[in-house]
Amino acid sequence: MSKSVDVCIVGSGAGGAPIAYELAKAGFSVVVLEKGPHYSEADFNKDEIDVSRRDKFTPNLKDEQHVIETYDDEGEIERYMGSESNWSFWNGSMVGGSSNLMSGYFHRMKEDDFKLLSKYGKIEGANVVDWPISYDDLEPYYDKVEKVVGVSGTIVPHKFLERRSSKNFPYEATWVQPISHWFDKACVDLGYVSLPTPRAVLPYDALGRTGCSYSNLCGSFGCSTGAKGNARAALLVKALRYDNCTLFSESYVTHIDSNDKRATKVHYIDAENNKHFIEAKIIVVAAQAIESSRLLLNSKNKFFPHGLANNSGNVGKNLIFSAGGSGEGRIEMKNLSKEQADVFHTRGAFVNRSLQDWYDYEDSGALHKGGTIDFLYEHANAVPRALGQVYDDEGNLLWGSALEERLKYAFEESRVFTFEVFNDWLPTDKCFVSTDEDVQDKWGMNVGRIRLYSHPKDVQVGEHLAQRAEKVLEQLGAVDISSNISTSPPPNLVAGGCRFGNDPKTSVLDVNCKAHELENLYVSDASFMPTGGSVPYTWTIYANSFRIADKIIEQLRS
């Protein structure tokens, strides 16, 4: 089967859905191709076993894997097969992509995130650059996401608060756990500014969706009410109401054809293993940073022998993740009054608190880019919470009454208060994605080969932030306080590989995220980001995708 349309979009997540939504509204014919299945709210139960032990929403690594390479202590390359090591970089293969499984912590990037080089200077061993756009270019689209996707929260003035065109969020903050107010007091005592965390979660029915049910099973779980602002519920459902928008799920894109100036056809395989192609005036790649680079690299032809839009050799380079890590402390019931203990066990409510006091900071006479710290309870999923108790502090396996006592302490007599640190993963020549000529997926396509490297400054900054976060836990009276800032890359926070910029020699995309070398190929997921900022990426991906949609509409109308 073949089909000819105005726009073909590969991927249906935060990078692709805004473009489908805007183009369909504008009257253009759109086809969205998604490798994963099309779930609805009815398919998203809160089965912890399904999500924790069966990897319901990610591909089987025997069918689809990555090859991962790391550096050992001597700088030699160590190679891991994803299917053998169970090391997965998939994070939600379905309509709407990984946005279905996010916790929905939404922070805007700051003005200085867009000018990392000019504000903080060169960093040896890092490919730090300024963005070709400013915060002001993206601000109207951040505002649009708040209103169209739905972001809830409350603005609190602080020294790093970004400029806003709207005075406050369009939706009031979600219901918070009483410990949030204890956290606020602890921050006052420490001289910190406690920030209500914005969430892409609707507190009540709005935008044609049902408000939050406060199950507390957000991260890694699909939303069964539609309150979470995932790409499917917030945008694609509405785009598909237009007759000119078509979605093909379980449709795996193998490669894209082109001539020397234009991308021409998108080839895909459906669930019955039938081959098809789409012809389009505009082709948009939004398959997730690793997979978008892989698709372009697998789309070689005589005009682009090293991969589509890759005659400069930049596709796959400067892959980044979110640096940082996490920490925790345990608050024991025995140290609380009965009234405190009762409210402490309030179920369902969010914590929704963050710190950005050190979004940049001075140390040893130099100014450093810092980051964001989000505070939350340990995940409500009982499976990992219980598994964390089956060994004692010496690593001995527990069972019987000893295990029972440990589980009772963990679930009834205390609660873990945690934090997550987000800071820049600096782009380097040593962290990139390519394709592996020796390993293919079940469709016979070369899999992505991911080379991992974290710049030493990533950990340095993360530890600086974690030390400040631990002071809050101390002020709250927590025990067993610890943190882990590591070089382990989170698969749900990946960007780069097709960075945008003004120079075709050092970037893949132009300022509007169109490939320098092709007239009609855009990349709209997190691949475009030359640096990642010190916040989760989803809001920025959404905002930039809305911006790209406007540019595509201009091109089609001209």
**DSSP assignment string, 24-57:** HHTT--EEEE-SS----GGG----HHHHHHS-TT
Q: Which pLDDT does position 481 carry in this prediction?
A: 97
User: What pLDDT, in 10s, does the model give residues 354-384?
Assistant: 999 999 999 988 999 999 999 998 887 878 8
Residue 74 exposed, middle or buried by CB count within 10 Å (0-12, 13-18, 19+) = exposed
- 67-71 and 446-451: which strand pairing? parallel
Domains in the chain: ranges and CATH: 2-40+67-85+92-557 (3.50.50.60)
Which residues contact residue 444 at a Cβ distance below 8 angstroms, ignoring those fewer than 6 apart?
Answer: none
List Cα–Cα distances, 452 to 88, 96, 460, 485, in angstroms.
13, 27, 18, 16
- 2-10 and 275-285: which strand pairing? parallel
Token pair for 42: 């009815």
3-state secondary structure of 486: strand
- With residue 327 as reference, give the H or E element that holds it: strand 317-332
- Please give the Cα distance from 71 to 57 (Å, whole number): 30
Which residues contact residue 336 at a Cβ distance below 8 angstroms, ignoring those fewer than 6 apart?
Answer: 344
User: What pLDDT, in 10s, does the model give residues 71-90?
Assistant: 998 999 999 999 999 999 99
Residue that the structure tokens 């809160």 belong to: 46
Of 40, 48, 500, residue with least CA distance to 315 = 500
Residue that the structure tokens 């390359």 belong to: 77
Which residues contact residue 334 at a Cβ distance below 8 angstroms, ignoring those fewer than 6 apart?
Answer: 413
- Please give the Cα distance from 17 to 542 (Å, whole number): 8
Of 159, 312, 166, 149, residue with least CA distance to 230 = 149
User: What pLDDT, in 10s, does the model give residues 245-302?
Assistant: 999 999 999 999 999 999 999 999 999 999 999 999 999 999 999 999 999 999 999 9
Helices (H), 112-253: 116-120, 135-145, 179-190, 231, 237-239
Residues 239-259 as b or e (16 or more Cβ within 10 Å = b): bbebebbbbbbbbbbbbbbbe
Residue 464 in this model has a pLDDT that exceeds 80: yes
Region 423-432: what's the mean pLDDT? Answer: 98
Q: Which residue has the higher pLDDT, 555 or 343?
A: 555
Residue 54 in this model has a pLDDT that exceeds 70: no
Of 218, 442, 465, residue with least CA distance to 324 = 465
Residue that the structure tokens 């790209």 belong to: 548
Cα-trace Rg, the chain:
23
Q: Measure the CA angle with vertex 410, ends 408 and 414; round to 5°.
A: 105
The model carries a pTM of 0.96
Estimate to the nearest angstrom the gap between the alpha carbon of 205 and the chain centroid.
25
List Cα–Cα distances, 513 to 308, 530, 546, in angstroms.
15, 12, 12
Q: Which residue has the higher pLDDT, 461 or 393?
A: 461
User: What pLDDT, in 10s, does the model give residues 387-398?
Assistant: 888 888 888 888
**Spatial contact of 99 and 92, defined as CB atoms under 8 Å apart:** yes
Residue 49 in this model has a pLDDT that exceeds 80: no
**Spatial contact of 87 and 290, defined as CB atoms under 8 Å apart:** no
User: What pLDDT, in 10s, does the model give residues 479-490?
Assistant: 999 999 999 999
Backbone torsions φ then ψ of 141, nearest 5 degrees? -85, -30
Name the least confident of 294-303, 331-340, 524-533, 538-547: 331-340
Q: Which residue has the higher pLDDT, 105 or 50?
A: 105
